[in-house]
Amino acid sequence: MFEVAFWRKARAEVVAFCLILATLLALGSQAAGAAPNWTLDPSASVLTYQSVKKNTIVETNKIRNITGTLSSAGDAKISFDLNSVDTGVDLRNVRMRFLFFETFTYPTAEVTAKVDPAAFADLPAKRRVKTTLPFHLNLHGVSKDIEASVVVTMISDTQVSVASEAPVAVHVEDFGLLPNIDKLQQAANVTNIVPTASVSFDFVFNADGGKPAAVQTVAASTAEVGPVATDAAKANFSDEECLNRFAVLSRTGAIYFRQASARLDAKSRPLLAEVEGVVGKCPTLKVEVSGYTDSDGSPEANKALSERRAKAVADALVADGVPRNQLSSAGYGEDKPVAANDTPKNKALNRRIEFSATKLAN
């Protein structure tokens, strides 16, 4: 459910951003002789989203790292760092990143818009305007044209707030994310994650060269807004953080081989790069790369294939700089299935590579 909320939120946040941009442009052209450029203030901006699981349990989360600009010509662009998903729990954050958003391939979402200053001509006089604004959202490799209702408030001549008038509903299937809800449900062992999320936002933009005014945020406390450090900024992970990441990376299904072959497909590169990064920040742990197959064919052939595939992954990681003493590989064939071998979908789930970790021997 957290995961669903996240995708909705991503979409909703996108809406907010584009709206905010439009406001800023109008502000700039009306409040000053020459329209300035505008920059989103991440320390004063808030994006929250609500998701529902088990039909009745509602959870609220946020995406923390947001950047954006609005040019004097009306070109708006806002980017969301999906690796900054914040659910309040590390394991949930990692599930949202790797299983739902698949940040190893799609690390950001982006909103672009073309703003017409004439639409906000009376903002400097009214100080507060409600409007509907269109924007273009790129999420998970899919682009969609969307519009949303927002409230634009002129905080000062150099600062504007754009906030959602009401929660924005976002639909997962529009961005090819519906299969990823299944992954989330299986990983979290929950049911009935609603494939729609309610997103609320309050974004603040500053005119370039202008001094930010004192802003009072009612959506969240200071501790709940602004940028956060992501995995990339951490020198090392705790053992718990390491285990969380290996467990979730094992569920992505993003390591690919040719049929009945141990030759890695180039599509595996993004996830392997993510695994390399995690292993490098878990220096006290040894990682086993485990291979599994479905039940088609003989048990002996399946075990041999799983061993070759696990070794191919380990060798690829070593070739990219992972110390050999931090890795081992093993193949388990058709043992330990995660689903019945009765449908093509379930068989695909059983053909997998997993990562587990134990303490390195002294």
Do 279 and 326 meet the contact criterion of CB atoms below 8 Å apart?
yes
Q: Is 123 exposed, middle or buried (0-12, 13-18, 19+ CB in 10 A)?
A: buried
CA atoms of 50 and 289, how far apart (whole Å): 36
Dihedrals φ, ψ of 319, to 5°? -60, -25
Give the closest residue to 294 by CA, choosing from 351, 332, 343. Answer: 351
Q: How many CB atoms lie within 10 A of CB 308?
A: 16
Do 59 and 88 meet the contact criterion of CB atoms below 8 Å apart?
no
Contacts of residue 135, defined as CB under 8 A and 6 or more positions apart, other chains included, come to: 14, 15, 17, 18, 19, 21, 76, 111, 112, 113, 145, 146, 147, 148
Tokens representing 220 are 């969240």
C-alpha radius of gyration, the chain, whole number:
23
Sheet with 285-292: strands ordered across: 327-331, 285-292, 352-359
Do 8 and 164 meet the contact criterion of CB atoms below 8 Å apart?
no
Looking at residue 60, what is its pLDDT? 81
CA atoms of 272 and 64, how far apart (whole Å): 26
CA atoms of 69 and 76, how far apart (whole Å): 6
CA atoms of 362 and 353, how far apart (whole Å): 27
Do 35 and 188 meet the contact criterion of CB atoms below 8 Å apart?
no
CA atoms of 13 and 111, how far apart (whole Å): 9
Looking at residue 120, what is its pLDDT? 74
pTM score of the predicted model: 0.86
**DSSP states along 65-80:** -EEEEE-TTSEEEEEE
Distances in Å between the Cα of 357 and the Cα atoms of 11, 278, 284, 345, 350 are 35, 11, 10, 28, 20
In sequence order, what E strands does 157-302 have? 159-164, 168-171, 196-207, 285-292
Q: What is the pLDDT along the chain (362 residues), one digit of tens a residue?
A: 444 444 444 444 443 444 444 444 444 444 434 556 889 999 998 888 877 777 777 778 899 999 998 887 778 898 999 999 999 999 999 999 999 999 999 999 998 888 777 777 788 889 998 888 788 889 999 998 888 788 889 999 899 898 888 877 778 899 999 999 999 999 998 888 877 778 888 889 999 865 554 444 333 444 578 899 999 999 999 999 999 999 999 999 999 999 899 999 999 999 999 999 999 999 999 999 999 999 999 999 999 999 999 999 999 999 999 999 999 999 999 999 999 999 999 999 999 999 999 998 76
Complete domains list, the chain, with CATH: 2-231 (2.40.128.110), 234-359 (3.30.1330.60)
Contacts of residue 275, defined as CB under 8 A and 6 or more positions apart, other chains included, come to: 249, 317, 355
Looking at residue 176, what is its pLDDT? 93
Instruction: Output the furthest CA–CA distance in the chain (Å, rounded).
Output: 79
Looking at residue 53, what is its pLDDT? 74
SS3 351: coil
Q: How many CB atoms lie within 10 A of CB 112?
A: 18
Tokens representing 276 are 């390399």
Dihedrals φ, ψ of 124, to 5°? -60, -30
Tokens representing 73 are 């010509």
